Structure 1
Amino acid sequence: MNSIYFDHAATTPMHAAAIEAYVEVASAGPSNPSSLHAAGRAARERISVARDALAEALGCSPTELVFTGSGTESDNSALFGAARAQRLKGRSGIVTAAVEHHAVLNACRQLEAEGFELTILPVDEHGVVRLEDAESAINENTAVVSVMAGNNETGTLQPIAKIGELARRHGAVMHVDAVQAFGYLSIDFRELPIDLLSVSAHKINGPQGVGLLYVRRGTPWLPMLYGGSQERSRRAGTENVAGIAAFAAAAKLACLNRHNRWEHAESIRAEVLRQLSEQLGPERFVVNGHQDDRLPHVLNVSFPGISSESMLMNLDLAGVAASGGSACNSGSLKPSHVLEAMNLPSDRIVSAVRFSFGLGNTIDEAEKMVKIIATISARYA
């Protein structure tokens, strides 16, 4: 068991309140919300209560929320659903960014294989989409624009409000992957020009296996799964009642404590950087991503001269959990597509490590981890 867990961007530990909510529902007996008897009605009521709580947190109507089985399913449902609905209106363009999560990029490539015209926007050296590139790419043929709120590997924030305005001006559907940003950024659909948004429970101290898709009322969108009439016939399949209840409990805490969560993660991040400067020297590491426009809990650092694999292996042996990038690529030796899209030097790309912070982390852990890094670095000096 790792003694220091700095991989919260991959998954987070469940909050005690989320566990309590999960156990309460899971131990209450059979609960199929589609059943008409008392047990089914009770399950349906639990989902309604959870949906209401999440709608309040997001500033939308409960009827605009669709529960899914993961963030990936939410991304896929958004993209395939909107693209296929827009194709019925004669639109065939898909616009996304080179630094998107593979749940978006690979879905977009599949849509391209189905005949859609895919445009992948480049980013600058900080990982930010240039508005002039977005403006050039989005036109009257564009069906869907998908740009993430905050990057899962670097934490860099994208100008989603301005890109959403461009999409709306041309009648395109705007989708945002907010899996990493939810619980840190304020998201209010009464103000943001966003039509579809994806989040996931296990990134905010909720359970794995539960996601959420916001579908603005009136948005052209078709369901991806067909079967029963669950989720107002928008996502067939028996709902994960216990998981949904735990998701709502975690989301309520994350949104209520958004400022404290930000400050806590930021303090750990700042301490890691301070300790790296003191113990290694500023010339021995480089931070990747935007310096200011970023999420507080993600820190991507390159240690030139030490491969990512070597650093991560040594950290793991010392009891520190970190990552080389997206958790969906764990076990893969491929370079980060995010850092490659930023056109970073190869020595930075192959030596990059992602640290991500959250519930339970302490300043003391940051200091201990950097001491371990200093020991590892000395072996490669």
Structure 2
Amino acid sequence: MPPQRTRRAHSEIPSASGPLRQSPRLHGSQPNGHGSSVSIQQPPSNGSIESRATISNPSTSLPTSTSSFNTPTNHHDALTEKMTSLINIFSSVAERLQASQSASLNPAAPAVAHITANIAPNPSSSTSTFPADTEDLAILNDPRIRPLKARYPRLDIKTVKQIMESKFRPENILRLRASNFTSIKDRDTHSSGSLILGGHRFETQQPDVKLEEYHSLLVLLQPFLVYCQCLVRFAPPALQLDLSEALWDYMFLLIDLNKLHTWDSVRDFHIAFHYTRLDDVYDAEGWRKRDMHLEFTHLRKRDEAAPSRRPTSQPQPLAYCIRWNRGDFCQLPCKYTHRCSSCNSPLHTAKDCRRFTTQNSNHEPLGNHSRTQSSHSNQATSGSSSRQ
């Protein structure tokens, strides 16, 4: 009987590199070097060469060849998880952007912004509101400002802060006027403009007041007194008395200049001079010293050199009404004088006048000259007859 040939048992184990052939010498259970055994079944009697291999591990039991290493399925699950996390991130960013836009357009949106801040608080938005309030409270609690607030309850905190920092613009002095304390509105602090005075351009901020609102010196002095009180309060104690006297001297100078010069020029001079004092507003000598260059370039004399002379020409002769002197109808009111052209009497017309003096025919009504000539001829005839 011929010896049976050993048939090779093929066991296909799925892996990343394809099927793996098992050795045909493995019969029964053989160790694989990792604490597990491989058992190979003998081929069936029907002549099939395929056999099934089972790998057994004492710690983990691996299934058969179709489910041992399912690499494509695990890769698909990881990709799905990454896409889901990215979608969640983009959704949260879109919700935050939409909430911020609705808060800027709708005043009622702070509630939504508050909910969003609780979910993911924004440090920039949480720290931008409190410093301003804290700074305002610090200014109000300043012992130098409390007397000013007690005297002027409507004094604006922003204006006081600008005066303390020497950033107050002279053209906005009317913001300190008592009559405007209740009507001052919050305006944009970042707005800028320029002011031209005497050919010089000055960059300004918060152009709240127009120059046309300074109607007279009294309109300027009232808020300027409030400004001077603020300066004296904020100045060092050693300079307060001297600074107060210098500011009073400057106000007296403005009054004297207004007597001899036009108000518009005095106003322009004051604003230009005030700009020169912004570098050191507590310098008493700077307020007291006169700036001859600014006075020469800005001030203009009043037009009171000589009073207007009355005309000395002869009065025009009266224009008599010809119709009235003739005795004709004249429609009233008449622009001519209704007086007798012969004797200037308002009681009768030239037609009824008893004076027969020779006058210029241009001043007599029409027909009066012929009547005078006829009267003279009658007198001559009567005189000749009496001589005979």
TM-score class, shorter-chain normalisation, is under 0.3
Considering Cα pairs closer than 8 Å and 6+ residues apart, tell me whether 1 or 2 has the greater RCO.
1
**TM-score (ref. length: structure 1):** 0.18
**TM-score (ref. length: structure 2):** 0.18
Greater per-residue strand proportion? 1
